[in-house]
Amino acid sequence: MPERLRQLLPSVLSVLLALGVCWALIALTMEPGTATDAYLQMLWGGIGNWPAYLDGAAATVITRPLGEAAMKAALLTLTGLSVAVAFKVGLFNIGAQGQMLLGALAAAVVGAHVTLPGVLHVPAALLGAALAGAAWAGIAGLLRIYRGVHEVISTIMLNWVALSLVDNWLVVGPLRGAAEGGQSITGTAEIQATAVLPRLLSDGSRLNLGFPLALAAALAVWVWLTRTRSGFETRTVGLGVEAARAAGIPVARRMGLAMALAGAMAGLAGAVLVLGTEGRYPGTLGAPYGFDGIAIALIGNNHPLGATVSALFFGVLRAGGTRMQLLGVHKSFPELIQGLALLFVAGRMVWLALLRRRNVAPTAAAEVPRA
Amino acid sequence: MMLRLHVLALTALLCACSKQKEEAPPAGAQAPAASGKTEKKALPVGLVIDVGGRGDHSFNDAALRGLELWAAGKRYEGGKYVDASPDEVRKSLPPHLTSDAARFQALPIRPIVLQSKAQEDYVPNLQLLVDQGTRLTVGNGYMLANAVRTSAQENPQAQFLLIDSQVLDAQGKAMKLPNVRTVLFKEQEGSFLVGALAGLVTKSNKVGFVGGIEVPLIQRFEVGYRAGVKTTNAQAAQALMSVYTGSFNNMAAGKQVAQDLISKGADVLFHAAGADGIGVIQAVKEARAAGKSVYAIGVDSDQAHVAPEAILTSMMKYTDLAIYQAAKDLVDGSFAAGEQVLGLKENGVGMAEVRVDFPGKAEALQKVEALRQRIIAGGLQVPALPADLAAFQATAP
């Protein structure tokens, strides 16, 4: 157990250090008081304004911020899972963004253009999104398995293909929602009421079914990776392809399925966005949740539950970050905190790697004369 | 090294914690309320600007000018508001209003501006402003149309101003809400004037148009521009090149497209592309530095200050005035929902002062002015839809 705690420590400290550095940056450029106020505003915007609530304000001062945080956390959890799952099989999925765009579009199309009874419509749209994301990731997976194309290259490039295909063509072209009389509307047609992810609260909070869905997905991925044979084989492939192959594990199938699952997770993130809050594929889906997923997964140590915890944390930060603007603090600080945390986490990995090499070095040197 | 990292983290954390404890009580009373102490009667007015952000020298900056500088008499500097001098306000006014500068006294309002990071931030940002107690909340841009509908329906007690779009229902049909004022502009009329000027200025008889996202709103700029060029220079209208960048916040894309058009021989470029347009202006500036005689035409705000040599004129869209007017109505207690459509006649759009010199300037400006008078008098109907462009033929005055 202490060993596990020790594994957690670097991530936690990195996040705290990032928070401290950003606080210092705001304090230096503005005033220390402003920095503290901004952090408090961020906190109230993420977990709810408890002091105001205790002073007798309506419950919405808590449920609305929590709903926003949960919504962002759901998206980050799913994209984080996408990256983490691919990591487990030894692949670096930088394409969660593109897979998410495809998933979002699929959800928007199924939600708007397919008529189904309410009970089936949401699952159908989610399924469509998962399949679209999986197919997009599958391209990179197949290229890797059969042609040896490195997935980092192919997923990065597929991100741009997805952006051009979806944002720059389909959404502004054939799939643009209809409007009457020269109205400018952005995005695809609005999804039908049956396809909307049900809200869990009825007071204006946007907390919806997407959040428990994301948590369930994280739990399922964790159970699959740790408690099933195929999950075990997947992790084995990630630890050593040749060893896994020698042990009789179907490496190509494990890689392909893990990559498809990664794509499905990113696709679901897109679906949660479209079905949960946007109601359509927006004119531009600019928010880089897919890229954030990389940070979330790394800070979460590539563990499904670790990624969930880090997604919850950054969801709170993101949702609350907007409120920093009320004090004149720039809108980018929540991202800055996340980026710095990632930098520190990565720094710790470099450091660990250096240490390991130093231990190994003498033996390697000893072997040289023999050769 | 690890140790040092930890110590750093801990000190930073401790600093943060001790500070938080010290400062907690005043912050707990909510910062906005605290700043309200100094100006007790100031009405909070919220503004959500789109993903183009602050500092686009165009659409968003026009909105900020209307709310912060004109309505509140404030200037935004390093995350804080400072009082602006009357001279500053006067200098920022368009020519047809400078004589009226005394009217622009600071109103007792307190602006709260939120920038959006992504499309999905619009609804929570509007909600946050409403929760801050804003008496009027402005959604700047058609991209916020859906968000304003949602927020206005969820907060029937709050009042909204939506710029550049009507409220649209799920089917994309215009609808009315009792707590939303919408303001549309006849962009085609202002674009017509700059197009007419472009047709007179071009030497290569090739002019270009750079649009942002291809939606009917931006098409109105293009259609008006085309009609204007056609009126003064039929040959240039034939060869008019038009490109859409597909974004409003990608300077690099605007620059690339503009460089492409310049290399194809265009010597006047009109942009309606938000921050992408800054890239267009940069490309024109660089082409001028390389010895080419090229002009850019700005949009929404007078963009001459971005590159004084390179900007022929700007197609003005007085969103600043619309927002100022709404704030004034709010203060006067006469704010009412409804739909406004502002054209040349209503001074909703126009053409900025031409500050650069070119051969035949006086004559060209005379012609443009004559066209302006005809549009205002109703003798000239500028088309707004691409479908009506082919039929458009400006009859001789």
In B, which residues are within 8 Å of A178 by CB distance?
Answer: 171-172
CA distance A21 to A27: 10
B170 shares contact with chain A (CB less than 8 Å): yes
CATH fold, domain B39-185, is: Rossmann fold (3.40.50)
Q: Mutating which of B117, B187, B245 best tests the A interface, going by the most A Cβ atoms within 10 A?
A: B117
Q: Which residue, chain included where needed, has tokens 């909204």?
A: B160
Q: How far is A180 from chain B (nearest CA, A)?
A: 6
Nearest CA among A328, A296, A318, A327 for reference residue A77: A296
Say if the Cβ atoms of A287 and B9 lie within 8 Å.
Answer: no
Note the pLDDT of residue B104. Answer: 85
The mean-pLDDT minimum among B47-61, B238-252, B271-285 falls in B47-61
Coil, helix or strand at residue A321: helix
Q: Do B142 and A184 touch (CB under 8 A)?
A: yes
Whether residue B22 has pLDDT greater than 50: no
Separate counts of helices (H) and strands (E) for chain A:
14, 0
Confidence label for B326 from pLDDT (cuts 50, 70 and 90): very high
* Residues in chain A closer than 8 A to B19 (CB atoms): 32, 35-36
Q: Does residue B19 have a pLDDT over 60? A: no
Delineate the domains of chain A, giving CATH numbers in brackets.
71-328 (1.10.3470)
d(CA B163, CA B146): 12
Beta-strand ranges (E) seen in A173-244 are: none
Query: How confident is the prediction for chain B on average, in pLDDT?
Result: 86
CB B111 within 8 A of CB B67: yes
Cα A184 to Cα B214: distance, rounded to the nearest angstrom: 9
pLDDT-wise least confident of A240-249, B14-23, B175-184, B356-365: B14-23
User: pLDDT tens digits for B170-220?
Assistant: 887 889 999 999 999 999 999 999 999 999 999 999 999 999 988 888 999
CB B174 within 8 A of CB A183: yes
Give the pLDDT score at A365: 44
| Yes or no, beta carbons of A351 and B217 under 8 Å apart | no
> How many CA atoms lie within 13 Å of A306's alpha carbon, on the beta-carbon side?
21
Q: Residues near B253 by Cβ (< 8 Å), separated by ≥ 6? A: B245, B246, B247, B276, B279
> Which residue in A has a C-alpha nearest to residue B10's C-alpha?
A17
ipTM over 0.90: no
If you search the block for the tokens 């983290």, which residue do you land on?
B9
For residues B32-46, give the mean pLDDT. 62
**Cα–Cα distance for residue pair B335/B338, rounded to 1 Å:** 10
pLDDT surpasses 80 at B7:
no
Provide the CB-side half-sphere exposure for B96 (13 A, CA).
12
| Triad A103, B248, B210: Cα angle to 5° | 120
Q: Which one of B131, B154, B157, B166 would you mutate to disrupt binding with A, by most A Cβ within 10 Å of its Cβ?
A: B131
Equal fold, B39-185 vs B187-316+359-389: yes
Q: Which CATH architecture best describes the domain B187-316+359-389?
A: 3-Layer(aba) Sandwich (3.40)
Task: Write out residues 228-247 of B within 8 Å (CB-CB) of A.
Answer: 246-247
CA dihedral A75→A80→A83→A85, nearest 10 degrees, is -110
Q: Which two tokens stand for residue B9?
A: 């983290």
* Contact assignment for B9 to A17 by CB distance below 8 Å: yes
CA B139 – CA B48 distance, rounded (Å): 5
> Residue ranges of the domains in chain B?
39-185, 187-316+359-389
Distances in Å between the alpha carbon of B290 and those of B262, B309, B350, B357?
12, 13, 31, 19
Rounded CA-CA distance A65/A68 in Å is 5
Q: What is the percentage of chain B residues whose pLDDT exceeds 90?
A: 63
Q: Please provide residue B36's backbone torsions phi and psi, each rounded to the nearest 5 degrees.
A: -70, -15
DSSP string, B132-159: TT-SEEEEESGGGHHHHHHHHHH-TTSE
371 residues of chain A, pLDDT tens digit each: 466 766 777 788 888 999 999 999 999 988 888 899 999 999 998 999 898 888 888 888 889 899 999 999 999 999 999 999 999 999 999 999 999 999 999 999 999 999 999 899 999 999 999 999 999 999 999 999 999 999 999 999 999 999 999 988 898 788 888 766 666 677 888 899 999 999 998 777 899 999 999 999 999 999 999 999 999 999 999 999 999 999 999 999 999 999 999 999 999 999 999 999 989 998 777 688 999 999 999 999 899 999 999 999 999 998 888 888 888 888 888 889 888 988 888 877 666 666 565 555 444 444 444 43
Question: Do the Cβ atoms of B278 and B56 come closer than 8 Å?
Answer: yes
What is the predicted pLDDT for the residue at A138?
97
Residues of B with Cβ-Cβ distance to A205 under 8 angstroms: none
pLDDT at B214: 83
Q: Is there a contact between A183 and B216 (Cβ–Cβ < 8 Å)? A: yes
Give yes or no for residue B53 having a pLDDT over 90: no
pTM of the model: 0.83
- Residue contact B385–A172, C-beta within 8 A: no
